[in-house]
A and B are shown apart, each in its own frame.
Chain A
Amino acid sequence: MKYEAVLTTCPYCGCGCKYYVEVVNGQAKRVMPCKEDPVSEGKLCIKGWNAIDFVNSPDRLTSPLIRDGETFREATWEEAYSLITSKFKEIKDTSGPSAFGLLSSAKTTNEENYLMQKFARSVIVTNNVDHCARLCHASTVAGLAAAFGSGAMTNSIPEVEDADCILITGSNTTEQHPLIGTRIYRAKERGARIILVDPRSIQLASIADIHLRQRPGTDVAWLNGIMNVIINEGLADEMFIEQRTENYDEFLEEVMHYTPEHVEEITGIPRNDLIDAARMFANAESASIIYSMGITQHTTGVDNVKSCANLAMLTGNMGKASTGVNPLRGQNNVQGACDLGALPNVFPGYQAVTDPASREKFEKGWNMDESIPETPGLTVVELLNEAADGRIKCMYIMGENPMISDPDISHVREALDTLDFLVVQDIFLTETAEIADVVLPGASFLEKDGTFTGTDRRVQRVRKAIEPIGSSKPDWVIISELARSMGSDQFDYESPAAIQDEIASLTPLYGGISYQRLDERGYLQWPCPTPDHDGTTYLHKGEFKRGKGHFFAVPYRPPAELPDDKYPFTLTTGRILFHFHTGTMSRRSGPLNKEVPTGYVEIHPADAAKLGISDGQAVRVSTRRGTIDIPAYVTDRVPEETVFIPFHFKECAANLLTNPALDPIAKIPELKVCACSIEAIV
């Protein structure tokens, strides 16, 4: 009898809870929380407790698959590699490297993301590599980098409980990041004031001192309004503004237009509530802003993020413990996928591809003969648009499922169908893999070593607990073998530890991180530039990464699509506690699927009454993009004239409805607001 409790990191959200997986005779049996883990402290959410459930699903891919007419046939790895290599070479020769698009994965390890972008940039020689951070926090990366010089959560999860005031907006924290929800409850117990700004009456509303319910898509207006009050009441931190920021005057001029009365007209937030919230936030000793996709997934996503940054700087809540601007990242390793350069404009560690010195460094580091393109590549939605137009001819997608996750799925399908060649690497035959030419079976988080970077820049180990299922292989092995098949001699790694050593040598942000140090210390938070550096709990202490914090004047712009006579409701989409992203993992987990087996549309009782809809009844929801049939959940969680649909469910996919209109800078689609109509199905 062999029993081992293997310490690893959760593959669901960005909290980064570590726990033990109990393995008996080579079988993963159970999850046991780790009480010494600084994030979870021996507590978990329902997804964490059940995280090993999908690993043994009978649906796991166990062999490479090659398209055979309408279906697939099983193939050997050699056969799959040789087919992909000949196709990749043929397309590269005839159409050039810019005809390729590669999607990396926020679910895979740092090492695997590093290799995917290295494959794109050094084997294919294109910057057309991106991943689903584009759909969740691209606006954070762009907005915070512009304001502060670094596009990540400024503070750390454990600090949240010591804040005196917490402003939560566009984050349903107890459902999407339950173990950060823990810290909010603890802060409240300690006497902290909680300001919630969310159109929906989510669970945190029950402990909020103030709950502002803005009209979806009006975030710049209420943020400017709060700052207008703070300035007019003399509550701004003038010393901080003077010493540590720039461009205040231009910002001030813009904010002065947003009187509480004007903001009430735009947002629907009663002026006195707005004033109370402004005073509460500004008067707190330490105030922390927590946000998530309710801020980022808008055509004004970058504007929203910059406004959050403005508010933190205006009140001097930066560069100190329990303050800051704290975007909560959705996927276990979406932070790491960004950090390791699975983005079209930056190398690992956010070193710009437009910078000649950076290009030279990586060309040399990877021993390349060819030059890396000096212009940024295409983003996720752009790649798919170009595919539909025939300019992108080949895609290699690892651990992503755009057929559920991306806006306007009908268009995604059309784009992927137009490709000459599509390779999908995943642990399941996802909706995207179903239309691939070759499918490569990856190994799950339990079957490999590596690191994930949690939302608070916390790099932690993922440890192999069991052998790969069937003939599946870890993604780092697959990419390396494929690169060697393509003729590269720069992908000879003994282990993920060796890949991390190469990352450290080329990436100052991760320069001091090694497996040995992670084993000794449990985690390291970047920036961690040298092997004797302790890591960084909170950013911008004393000085911003970019020098001075930059105030942006941000005028309010309405969402791209507003309700009208034909589509009179506002549709907003999001996630729920019991499921994750495209449902690929969570819907294959018995306990999670039992809680919520399919999607639903939340509709206010008054609207339901007007339309003759009763709870549980099937309704038809339509937008300019598409139509779905879905059960109604009649609830006053949503305000009148606004409906909410979780996006996890393919049989009633919210993203058949959503608007692919993009933020002009971050290219993030407006998944949080579009216009829809609803009718009862009789």
Chain B
Amino acid sequence: MNDELRAVAAEILARDDIDGIVGLKEMHGTVRPCFFTDADQLPLMVVDSRYPVASVVRLLLEEGPDLRLAVVCRGCEERSLIELAKNHQIDIDSITVIGIACDSDTAKECNCSKPYPDSLMVGTALENWTRDTYDTYRQMSGEEKLAFWNEQLEKCNKCYGCRNACPVCFCKECELENPLWVKRGRLPPDFPIYHLIRAFHVAGKCIGCGECEKACPTGIPLMTLSHLLREDLEELFGYMAGRSLDEQNPVITKEEYE
């Protein structure tokens, strides 16, 4: 699949309307994000699921707003670009998506809702993919759920990693750092407000990539929270974040834009 990707990337990099490709490269035995601007770099380009490139795109566009980028995107990354565009963080018209499909192991690891992008160019979309539906959790009583979260959130290390790793967290002032809601400097942070603020603040934007849970040093099952919220939004409003540029976030109030 690497060869297939490199061939596609070479064609796109040769185009006059592309300044460079955001993707992943392998070096010193580890995979890392890279901004490919020269065909000589392409032999290092790899297909890998480990690093979300959407936040690299945002960083590059902050420094160079006029850059015309191509981006190697998995399903979740395409969804995060759509959400960033809907929230006026990037101009999606200046971005060319090089879509790649995830294999079943990767899809399972993230419990992905759609392990391939719409603009698929490399690989084959996974068929007959069924997700975990959190039945054990759903069957708990309200009291059991409260106890479950109490036990889980007591482990919180307040690293803010769930927020830092999130491809759709972009506020300049973060409410998690507002002492009105969460006492500063206390470990674990106040239960359950710290995690509720995060969950509800990204609800409607969360594209279900699971980067929050993967970044959590104490193994809090944050994907359970985010996936269930995504499903609720679909059930209640027929809405799914990252699906289309035209869908409006139903939980956002007008005030947030003002």
Query: B-contacting residues of A (Cβ < 8 Å)?
Result: 1-3, 5, 7, 20, 22, 24-25, 29-30, 32-37, 42-46, 48-49, 174-175, 178-179, 181-182, 185-186, 189, 203, 206-207, 519-522, 576-578, 591, 594-596
Q: Are B159 and A46 in contact (CB under 8 A)?
A: yes
Q: What residues of chain B lie closer than 8 Å to A189, measured between beta carbons?
A: 219
Give the residue among A1, A37, A48, A175 with the most B Cβ atoms within 10 A.
A1
Contact sample, A vs B, 10 pairs, CB 8 Å cutoff: A1-B20, A1-B37, A2-B35, A3-B33, A3-B60, A178-B157, A203-B187, A519-B28, A522-B30, A595-B185
**Stretch of B83-91, B141-149, B209-217, B246-254 at the chain-chain interface:** B209-217
Q: Contacts A519-B28, A578-B185: A45 and B157 contacting too (C-beta < 8 A)? A: yes
Q: Contacts A3-B35, A594-B184: A46 and B219 contacting too (C-beta < 8 A)? A: no
Least distance between A667 CB and chain B CB atoms (Å) = 33
Distance between Cα atoms of A207 and B188 in the complex (Å): 13
Distance between Cα atoms of A591 and B185 in the complex (Å): 10
Q: Are A33 and B215 in contact (CB under 8 A)?
A: yes
Q: Are A46 and B215 in contact (CB under 8 A)?
A: no
Distance between Cα atoms of A36 and B64 in the complex (Å): 30
List 7 extra interface pairs beyond A44-B215, A49-B160, CB under 8 A.
A1-B60, A1-B63, A5-B33, A22-B33, A34-B30, A37-B30, A179-B217
Residue of B nearest to A37 (CB): B30
Q: Are B218 and A36 in contact (CB under 8 A)?
A: no
Q: Contacts A174-B187, A595-B185: A49 and B161 contacting too (C-beta < 8 A)? A: yes
Q: Are B159 and A49 in contact (CB under 8 A)?
A: yes
Q: What residues of chain A lie closer than 8 Å to B35, measured between beta carbons?
A: 1-3
Least distance between A9 CB and chain B CB atoms (Å) = 13
Q: What residues of chain B lie closer than 8 Å to A32, measured between beta carbons?
A: 33, 51
Tell me whether B154 is interfacial, beta carbon within 8 Å: yes
Q: Contacts A22-B56, A42-B214, A181-B157: A36 and B219 contacting too (C-beta < 8 A)? A: no
Q: Are A36 and B63 in contact (CB under 8 A)?
A: no
Q: What residues of chain B lie closer than 8 Å to A576, measured between beta carbons?
A: 185
Distance between Cα atoms of A32 and B134 in the complex (Å): 30
Q: What residues of chain A lie closer than 8 Å to B158, measured between beta carbons?
A: 46, 577, 595
Fill in one digit per residue for B175-204: 1 if any A CB lies within 8 Å of its CB, else 0. 001000000110110000000000000000
Tell me whether B92 is interfacial, beta carbon within 8 Å: no
Distance between Cα atoms of A30 and B32 in the complex (Å): 14
Q: Are A20 and B32 in contact (CB under 8 A)?
A: yes
Tell me whether B131 is interfacial, beta carbon within 8 Å: no
Q: Are B184 and A596 in contact (CB under 8 A)?
A: yes
Q: Contacts A1-B64, A594-B184: A522 and B33 contacting too (C-beta < 8 A)? A: no
Distance between Cα atoms of A178 and B160 in the complex (Å): 13
Distance between Cα atoms of A179 and B60 in the complex (Å): 30
Least distance between B180 CB and chain A CB atoms (Å) = 14
Least distance between B51 CB and chain A CB atoms (Å) = 7
Q: What residues of chain A lie closer than 8 Å to B215, measured between beta carbons?
A: 33, 42-44
Q: What residues of chain A lie closer than 8 Å to B219, measured between beta carbons?
A: 182, 185-186, 189
Q: What residues of chain A lie closer than 8 Å to B28, measured between beta carbons?
A: 7, 519-520, 522
Q: Are A178 and B19 in contact (CB under 8 A)?
A: no
